[in-house]
Amino acid sequence: MRHARNNELTDRRSAAADAKSALLTAYKAAKTAAEPSQAARQAERISLVEAREARRAERERLKHEERTRIETLAAEEQAAVEAAAAAEIEARQAAENARISRVVEDEAARKAERDRRYAARKARQA
């Protein structure tokens, strides 16, 4: 047996109430003693949250700048591709026009040669 004496119900209830009040006073004393350190911990947590938020904002800003830079480069590359395609189309058109003009000139030269031969033949006959 732990306790040799007999405890009555009221003695046990009062002992339990005393123990509970002792725990409560100890808790209140510990809480008031820890209050300055709690405030310091809270301030430290707040500073950590602010620093984390600042780092996140910086990461977001860098991502946005990188995305903008990539979009700009893509737009410049697209413009260069379109300019090259336009230049190629223009060169093809110029080559086609030059070929057509050579064909027309050749045709005119053949026609002139035919007309010259025809005139020479008519001159020989007359």
Taking only the tens place, the pLDDT of each residue in 62-91 is 999 999 999 999 999 999 999 999 999 999
pLDDT tens for each residue of 40-49: 888 999 999 9
pLDDT of residue 32: 82
Concatenating the DSSP letter of every residue in 63-97 gives HHHHHHHHHHHHHHHHHHHHHHHHHHHHHHHHHHH
Give SS3 for 90.
Answer: helix
Structure pTM?
A: 0.47
Reported as a single tens digit per residue, the pLDDT across 8-40 is 888 888 889 999 999 999 998 888 877 878 888
